[in-house]
């Protein structure tokens, strides 16, 4: 090991010297790789935000098992099933409670600007709040008041004044479907690709606002099991005993249900994946052009090395050295610029766009692969470097 390190120190960094010789070409190469990395980072960031934002509410559900209609596709398209299925589920040994959850989209007016926007309205039993959100539990009594809602401080849009007003203990009024409602309390979930924000209230208030909905049909059933009960066995029993108009999933299974729908049926997921692939291809083309030009410019020198007895493997090592150096130099500014764009985009869209170590490692690996693939293609010309043609 010591001998290898000694040889590495004594080795002439020919690849770096060649890159540094033409500073303009080096700058163009770094800019190209940086651009490709930014493109990949942004596409992967958008995809991560797509999945994370669309399951935020799912992860906050305070239930061990979720009942839903087999016709449901995702949270935005849940369909309904009879409420009596909740009572029937209580016959299964090990189940502690089963509560109804009503979900629907509604247009509401911004309390200040009066601009309409679509919000996800959730109705629950206020005595047993459906979400693991402390502020929802603290404001359960307020939700019982007629036409009173809680507001999501993570809602997309300019709600600074409304949030400040609510944090000071004041209330605000607005309209939903020509009905005046009172906003009296805050919680935080955040916007997603499908909704600007969330409103929460009691089941009774929900049914008042959705006049055509009946209490006998629900969107979700939230089931809690007794401590120590076999969760998977209870889910299997529910699916076997309950009619086919309802299915049971674990809470984590409900999260997977949403993400699977996005992966299989959402066009936007495909678009982000394609964007990342295109960024990789752009990087390969840019690095290939740089390395190929470098090989052509130094063909005589490479032929001279061959005449001096250097093996073809040594020459390949020089090109791959250049590829690795370019990958590192282009990746670092790519990370920095992407961090800034993440913050800017997150502030503008209220989406959970954040850098994580896993994504950094993935993009760095892709950058290395990108540059080395380009190096493999560019070194094909080295095989034709014949000393006889030079001398």
Note the pLDDT tens digit of each residue in 216-233: 999 999 999 999 889 999
Q: How many angstroms separate the CA atoms of 225 and 79, rounded?
A: 24
Range of weakest confidence among 182-186, 189-193, 337-341: 189-193
Average pLDDT of the chain is 86
Domain boundaries, the chain: 14-53+267-390, 70-245
The pTM of the whole model exceeds 0.85? no
Note the pLDDT tens digit of each residue in 30-74: 898 999 999 999 999 998 888 888 889 999 999 999 999 999 988
CA distances from 94 to 87, 100, 220, 229, 249 (A): 14, 18, 20, 6, 15
Q: Is 232 exposed, middle or buried (0-12, 13-18, 19+ CB in 10 A)?
A: exposed
**Residue recorded with tokens 């679509």:** 118
Note the pLDDT tens digit of each residue in 265-311: 877 888 888 888 998 998 888 888 887 777 777 666 666 666 676 67
Note the pLDDT tens digit of each residue in 73-96: 888 888 899 999 999 999 999 999
Do the beta carbons of residue 238 and residue 188 sit within 8 Å?
no
For 4, residues 6+ apart whose C-beta sits below 8 A from its C-beta are: none
Strand residues in the chain grouped as ranges (E): 65-68, 81-82, 95-109, 116-124, 148-152, 172-176, 179-187, 198-202, 217-218, 220-225, 247-250
**DSSP label at residue 365:** H
Note the pLDDT tens digit of each residue in 347-356: 888 888 889 8
For 369, residues 6+ apart whose C-beta sits below 8 A from its C-beta are: none
CA distances from 381 to 209, 315, 368 (A): 72, 11, 21
């Amino acid at each position: 090991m010591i001998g290898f390190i000694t040889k590495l120190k004594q080795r002439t960094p020919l690849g770096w010297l060649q890159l540094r010789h033409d500073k303009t070409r080096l700058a163009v190469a770094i800019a190209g790789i940086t651009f490709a990395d930014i493109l990949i980072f942004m596409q992967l960031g958008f995809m991560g935000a797509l999945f994370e934002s669309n399951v935020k509410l799912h992860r906050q559900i305070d239930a061990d098992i979720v009942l839903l209609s087999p016709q449901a596709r995702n949270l935005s398209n849940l369909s309904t099933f009879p409420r009596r299925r909740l009572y029937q589920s209580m016959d299964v040994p090990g189940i502690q409670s089963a509560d109804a959850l009503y979900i629907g989209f509604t247009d509401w007016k911004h309390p200040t600007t009066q601009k309409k926007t679509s919000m996800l309205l959730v109705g629950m039993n206020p005595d047993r709040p459906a979400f693991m959100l402390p502020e929802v539990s603290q404001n359960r009594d307020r939700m019982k008041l007629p036409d009173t809602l809680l507001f999501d401080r993570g809602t997309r849009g300019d709600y600074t004044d409304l949030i400040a007003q609510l944090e000071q203990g004041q209330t605000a009024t607005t309209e939903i479907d020509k009905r005046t409602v009172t906003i009296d309390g805050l919680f935080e979930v955040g916007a997603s690709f499908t909704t600007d924000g969330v409103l929460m209230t009691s089941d009774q208030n929900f049914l008042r606002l959705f006049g055509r909905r009946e209490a006998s049909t629900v969107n979700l059933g939230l089931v809690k099991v007794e401590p120590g009960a076999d969760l998977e066995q209870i889910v299997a029993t529910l699916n076997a005993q309950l009619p086919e108009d309802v299915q049971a999933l674990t809470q984590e299974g409900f999260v997977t249900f949403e993400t699977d729908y996005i992966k299989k049926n959402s066009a936007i997921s495909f678009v982000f994946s394609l964007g990342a692939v295109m960024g990789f291809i752009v990087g390969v083309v840019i690095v290939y052009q740089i390395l190929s030009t470098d090989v052509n410019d130094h063909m005589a020198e490479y032929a001279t090395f061959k005449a001096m007895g250097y093996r073809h493997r040594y020459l390949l090592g020089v090109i791959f050295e250049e590829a690795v150096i370019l990958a590192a130099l282009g990746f670092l500014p790519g990370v920095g610029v992407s961090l800034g764009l993440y913050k800017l985009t997150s502030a503008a869209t209220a989406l959970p766009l954040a850098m994580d170590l896993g994504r950094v490692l993935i993009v760095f690996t892709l950058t290395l692969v990108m540059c080395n693939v380009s190096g493999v293609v560019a070194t094909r010309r080295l095989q034709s470097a014949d000393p006889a043609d030079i001398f």
